């Protein structure tokens, strides 16, 4: 790759920003090399500061379901620039966005808007604790819910062991409020509930995992979770920050027919602007301030620019339900002929090529992938003009802007991978 300008920018960035990046995976640590600094995006394509163009399967890590600079989003943003970009006071657009979310995801009877997925999951956990009066949360190994203190844990050995912090800076006492279980294990869930049932406030899950690569829920897994939460008085939180408006218009809860008590959303609902939300049952959300005693707030929450972009995306999707069949079809075409020895997981327009010939159903099996081979594949694709996520343990995304030709070009590049 010819990246002299990106190399110079990275050197300059490293002096003032840790690692030169504002989110760690952007630094390409797990695949090596210099991350291209991006100058612009057009539909399915991004162009770096050295003039290299790439077909983009990162799509800003999921938000850009309609591709870069969709005209409806640009028009909505321009309209806001004419009237003011922030008031810290209620605006009509916020109601419209909440109504659009509620119409697509009926379980979200009430919604509170926040600025990032991390804030959404942090707040949902607090609401679950405040509502139930309990402290423990169950999460699943390999699921990512943002950089919330108590959720950055990995399991100790065995089922129903309390978590150990996965990062410096998280007090042991916070990690102790989390039980980490293997994804797709109904047995582990049952064991955890029988050991700690009356202390569990919530189960939080990516209903389709996307942050250890794409891993679908095994048949019965989400159903068992729903049943156990109801039996034990715990709240079921679907973290649909990635899957909401992505795997289906109504998210994974529509796809699998499960009604969670609380849901977190983000990414697609902002069309590339920073916004997220949490919501669910009215009786639960009525405990949130100013109505109830559970405090949560935000200076820029419901920001007019982000809300306007969100409305543009969700109105477009509501008016063009065929978008989902189209992106699913093109993603299926992309996944039809993977390189040899690769296991492909796909749900809708989320996909991962795992460099292992064994099925990938949880974090343990994902970790059996040959990450060195993935790194070679990644750089082969980058040199072929295809921008994939720079880690084996990420999902790829196809947008409505990707054409059949883009997919065919990408598949041809993958087929030419020498191994
Ligand atoms: C991206 C993501 C988050 C965190 O969202 P941020 O906006 O990065 O804070 C939380 N949960 C899931 C499932 C995500 O994919």
Q: Is 267 a catalytic residue?
A: yes
* Residue in 48, 54, 139, 144 annotated catalytic: 144
What's the confidence (pLDDT) of residue 1?
A: 75
Mean pLDDT score of the chain: 95
Percent of the chain with pLDDT over 70: 97
Instruction: Report the sign of the C-alpha dihedral through residues 227, 230, 235, 238, in that order.
Output: positive
Tell whether ligand 1 has an atom less than 6 A from the beta carbon of residue 131.
Answer: no
What's the confidence (pLDDT) of residue 330?
A: 98
| Peptide bond preceding 290 in cis form (omega within 30 of 0) | yes
Distance CA 393, CA 412 (A): 23
Tell whether ligand 1 has an atom less than 6 A from the beta carbon of residue 356.
Answer: no
Tell whether ligand 1 has an atom less than 6 A from the beta carbon of residue 121.
Answer: yes
Residue nearest to atom 10 of ligand 1 (CA): 145
Which of the pair, 164 or 270, is modelled with greater confidence?
270
Are residues 330 and 342 in contact, defined by beta-carbon separation less than 8 angstroms?
Answer: no
What's the confidence (pLDDT) of residue 160?
A: 38
How close is the Cα of 164 to the center of ligand 1, in Å? 21
Distance CA 120, CA 118 (A): 5
Tell whether ligand 1 has an atom less than 6 A from the beta carbon of residue 253.
Answer: no
> In the chain, where are the structural domains located?
71-319
Contacts of 181 (CB under 8 A, 6+ apart): 138, 139, 140, 141, 155, 159, 160, 188, 189, 192
pLDDT in tens, 195-209: 999 999 999 999 999
Q: Does domain 71-319 have CATH number 3.40.640.10?
A: yes
Average pLDDT estimate for 141-152: 91
| Best residue among 214, 266, 310, 394 to mutate for probing ligand 1, ranked by most atoms within 8 Å of CB | 266
Contacts of 120 (CB under 8 A, 6+ apart): 114, 146, 241, 264, 265, 266, 276, 277, 278
Nearest to 139 by CA among 232, 215, 201: 201
Is pLDDT above 70 for 162?
A: no
Is pLDDT above 90 for 159?
A: no
Average pLDDT estimate for 122-137: 98
* Residue in 56, 239, 362, 406 annotated catalytic: 239
How does residue 136 score in pLDDT terms, banded at 50, 70 and 90? very high
Structure tokens, 353: 């090529």
pLDDT in tens, 286-329: 999 999 999 999 999 999 999 999 999 999 999 999 999 999 99
Is pLDDT above 60 for 7?
A: yes
What's the confidence (pLDDT) of residue 172?
A: 87
No. of helices (H) and no. of strands (E), the chain? 14, 16
How close is the Cα of 147 to the center of ligand 1, in Å? 8
What's the confidence (pLDDT) of residue 164?
A: 58
Distance CA 93, CA 302 (A): 9
Distance CA 50, CA 4 (A): 7
What atom in ligand 1 is closest to the CA of residue 119? 9
Percent of the chain with pLDDT over 90: 91
How does residue 113 score in pLDDT terms, banded at 50, 70 and 90? very high
Q: Tell me the pTM.
A: 0.97
Is pLDDT above 70 for 265?
A: yes
Tell whether ligand 1 has an atom less than 6 A from the beta carbon of residue 210.
Answer: yes
Burial of 295 (0-12, 13-18, 19+ CB in 10 A): exposed
Average pLDDT estimate for 393-406: 97
How close is the Cα of 118 to the center of ligand 1, in Å? 6
Tell whether ligand 1 has an atom less than 6 A from the beta carbon of residue 243.
Answer: no
What's the confidence (pLDDT) of residue 163?
A: 52
Average pLDDT estimate for 240-266: 98
What's the confidence (pLDDT) of residue 161?
A: 42
Are residues 293 and 287 in contact, defined by beta-carbon separation less than 8 angstroms?
Answer: yes
Work out whether strand 350-354 and strand 276-280 pair parallel, antiparallel, or are unpaired.
unpaired
Residue 79, CB half-sphere, CA atoms under 13 Å: how many? 14
């Amino acid at each position: 790759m010819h990246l002299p300008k990106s190399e110079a920018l990275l050197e300059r960035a490293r002096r003032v920003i840790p690692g030169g990046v504002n989110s760690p995976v952007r630094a390409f640590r797990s695949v090596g090399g210099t991350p291209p600094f991006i100058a612009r995006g057009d539909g399915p394509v991004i162009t770096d500061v050295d003039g290299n163009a790439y077909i983009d399967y990162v799509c800003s890590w999921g938000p850009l379901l309609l591709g870069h600079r969709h005209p409806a989003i640009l028009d909505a943003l321009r309209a806001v620039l004419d009237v003011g970009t922030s008031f810290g006071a209620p605006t009509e657009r916020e109601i419209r966005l909440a109504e659009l979310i509620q119409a697509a995801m009926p379980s979200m009877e009430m919604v509170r808007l926040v600025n990032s997925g991390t804030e959404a999951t942090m707040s949902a956990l607090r609401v679950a604790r405040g509502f139930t009066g309990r402290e423990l949360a169950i999460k699943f190994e390999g699921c990512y819910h943002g950089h919330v203190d108590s959720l950055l844990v990995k399991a100790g050995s065995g089922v129903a062991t309390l978590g150990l912090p996965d990062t410096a800076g998280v007090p042991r006492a916070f990690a102790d409020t989390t039980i980490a279980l293997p994804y797709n294990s109904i047995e582990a869930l049952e064991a955890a509930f029988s050991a700690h049932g009356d202390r569990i406030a919530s189960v939080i899950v990516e209903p389709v995992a996307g942050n250890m690569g794409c891993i679908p829920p095994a048949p019965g897994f989400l159903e068992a979770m729903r049943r156990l939460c109801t039996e034990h008085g715990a709240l079921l939180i679907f973290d649909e920050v990635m899957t909401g408006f992505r795997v289906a218009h109504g998210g994974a809860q529509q796809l699998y027919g499960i009604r969670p008590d609380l849901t977190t959303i983000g990414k697609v609902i902002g069309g590339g602007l920073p916004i997220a939300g949490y919501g669910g049952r009215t009786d639960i959300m009525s405990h949130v301030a100013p109505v109830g005693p559970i405090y949560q707030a935000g200076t820029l929450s419901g920001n007019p620019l982000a809300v306007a972009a969100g409305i543009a995306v969700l109105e477009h999707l509501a008016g063009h339900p065929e978008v989902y069949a189209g992106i699913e079809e093109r993603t299926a075409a992309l996944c039809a002929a993977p390189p040899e020895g690769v296991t492909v997981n796909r749900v809708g327009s989320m996909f991962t090529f795992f460099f292992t010939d064994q099925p990938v159903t949880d974090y343990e099996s994902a970790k059996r992938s040959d990450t060195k081979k993935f790194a070679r594949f990644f750089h082969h694709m980058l040199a072929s003009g295809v921008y994939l996520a720079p880690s084996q343990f990420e999902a790829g995304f196809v947008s409505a802007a990707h054409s059949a030709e883009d997919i065919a070009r990408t598949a041809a590049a993958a087929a030419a991978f020498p191994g």
